Structure 1
Amino acid sequence: MATIRIHTTQNVTLEYEVGSIGDRIVATLIDSLVLVAWAVLWGVIFQSVGSGGSHETTDWSSASGIIAIIIIAFILAPVVFYSLASEIFFNGQSLGKKARHLRVVRLDGTAPRLGDYFLRWLLRIIDLYLPFAGGLVAIITIAVNGKGQRLGDMAAGTTVVSTKAPAGLLPDLGPSLPLEGYQAVFPQAADLTDHDVALLRQLLSRSLQQGNYVLLNETATKIKQLLHVQSDMSDEAFLRTVLRDHAHVIAAG
């Protein structure tokens, strides 16, 4: 599987496996099934209401225009905004992406912003829903781009990566030192004890293997509180940087 190196604004390099076209297609199909299930649910509800009540109370054609618009908007809103809302509230993952262990990340290592998710969502119209194309634009763009980016990703500065650890291989969380001339981003990392570092490696490894981003966020939050630092880096990038800084500062001292 292709890999991509992400150089963060703190001069740290992270390496990810790019989400494969096959996994992204399956994730899209899963998300489509979720939306189809939503539509079927409402179809069943309307059919049940229409067949269970009197003609006067179930004649939808006599409903006022405003009520009809509200009902239609309520039904269509999740269909239209599903992708945008799920990626915003679930750390770059829809249900389909979570099932296939995929996640949206920025190429500079920081967490995607609301505007990034909005651009990806807006350009889905061209990438996936262009008439007579049927997603070919996205497939071709991802195949030739080399960074796993469709048009929406290129505009937003994002890509989709795999969160699965390669079979039989744990994430590289060892205390390897940065390149010569490296300066610690968080020198406070030296305050971590050996026990803290061992626990941090264990939690980071577990959260990445399991795709548990709640645990990843909680770990990053705890480390920030412990070191009294702030960062706009993604949780994974922050924790990897802390480990690298700890190894660097301890070796230099």
Structure 2
Amino acid sequence: MSKLYITTTQNVPLFFTPASVGERMLGYFIDMIVKTSYLISSYYLFKYLKLFDLIDDFDTWTKMAVFLVIYSPVVFYTLVSESLMEGRTLGKMLVKTRVVKIDGYQASFTDYFTRWIFRLVDINMGYVAGVVSMLLTKHTQRLGDLAAGTAVISEKSKYNLSHTILAEINGNYQPYFTRTQILQFNDNDMRIIKENALNAIQIRDYALLEKLTAKIEEVIRLKNKFPTQENFIKKVIEDYNYYTGEN
């Protein structure tokens, strides 16, 4: 599968693995189960409380308003979830995928809204447009992704916390870099650096490690003096955790 290259806000070109069509469809069906469960639960709750009898006495417009309110969590589920959970829904969390901007910036509400409104074409009109678009585009993007400038990436990794280059910071930790150097990065930059460093280590992509090192050196204006590029990147991440974790 092709790699999705993203340039971060600090001009660090990195890559992700786009989520496969299968991963995207699995996440979608999990979300469908969540929404269906909500509707079934709402139905039996209304039936138990005998609220349907009460609604029958309403006029047509009031009935429509009530049912729109009941159904709104299903309609806005994806938009609200992605906006509040940084590009994730419950289905995406379980499948370990998320929505990101291709230009390296954090996706905004407008981006999520654009993806959501295009569901009318991609999904609600028989799935054909969305599936065909994902199959034909390089990064498995549906029409909503193309319009919003986003893609869905896979966050799966064979590493757990004990395998990552991000070590826990103890109370006696001494930073190597200065606060000014390290805090030129933000949380999103550091997350991307960490994920791509892990990916590079996993597939032994030494060219990517070299590129990461060079770009970090460019940002902090200091050459790597550590034995390996991996140690250098690890120290940058540890120092970032140290400075951002200070009270």
Same fold (TM over 0.5): yes
Partner of 2:204: none
Partner of 1:44: 44
**Residues of 2 paired with 1:46 and 1:122: CA distance?**
30
**Residues of 2 paired with 1:2 and 1:171: CA distance?**
25
* CA gap 1:59/1:106 in 2 versus in 1, 3 angstroms: closer
Partner of 2:209: none
The match for 2:191 among 223, 229, 236 is: 236
* CA gap 1:171/1:147 in 2 versus in 1, 3 angstroms: farther
The match for 1:140 among 113, 132, 148 is: 132
Question: Is the Cα–Cα contact under 8 Å of residues 9 and 189 in structure 2 kept in the other structure?
Answer: no
**Residues of 2 paired with 1:160 and 1:22: CA distance?**
12
- Matched letter for residue 250 of structure 1: K
* CA gap 1:143/1:171 in 2 versus in 1, 3 angstroms: farther
Give the count of matched residue pairs.
201
Show CA shifts across 1:5-54 (max 9, x none).
Answer: 2123532111111101001111111111111111101110222123xx9x
Question: Is the Cα–Cα contact under 8 Å of residues 102 and 151 in structure 2 kept in the other structure?
Answer: yes
**Residues of 1 paired with 2:183 and 2:34: CA distance?**
42
Cα drift, residue 63 of structure 1: 2.3
Cα drift, residue 153 of structure 1: 0.5
* CA gap 1:244/1:195 in 2 versus in 1, 3 angstroms: farther
* CA gap 1:224/1:196 in 2 versus in 1, 3 angstroms: closer
Question: Is the Cα–Cα contact under 8 Å of residues 213 and 224 in structure 2 kept in the other structure?
Answer: no
Matches within 5 A, 1:120-135: 120-130=115-125, 134-135=126-127
- Matched letter for residue 48 of structure 2: S
Q: Which runs of 5+ in 2 are unaligned?
A: 167-172, 197-211, 226-247
Matches within 5 A, 1:144-159: 144-159=136-151
> With structure 2 as the length reference, what TM-score do the two structures score?
0.68
Percent identity over the alignment is 27
Cα drift, residue 154 of structure 1: 0.5
- Matched letter for residue 245 of structure 1: I
Partner of 1:15: 15
* CA gap 1:173/1:141 in 2 versus in 1, 3 angstroms: farther
The root-mean-square deviation of aligned C-alpha atoms, in Å, is: 3.7
Classify the secondary structure of the residue corresponding to 1:137.
Answer: helix
> With structure 1 as the length reference, what TM-score do the two structures score?
0.66
Q: Which runs of 5+ in 1 are unaligned?
A: 175-193, 198-222
Classify the secondary structure of the residue corresponding to 1:18.
Answer: coil
* CA gap 1:243/1:29 in 2 versus in 1, 3 angstroms: farther
Cα drift, residue 144 of structure 1: 1.0
Show CA shifts across 1:58-82 (max 9, x none).
Answer: 3432125565344213211111100
Cα drift, residue 235 of structure 1: 5.4
Partner of 1:249: 222
Greater Cα shift, 70-79 or 114-123? 70-79
- Matched letter for residue 216 of structure 2: D
**Residues of 1 paired with 2:80 and 2:74: CA distance?**
10
Question: Is the Cα–Cα contact under 8 Å of residues 6 and 15 in structure 2 kept in the other structure?
Answer: yes
Partner of 1:34: 34
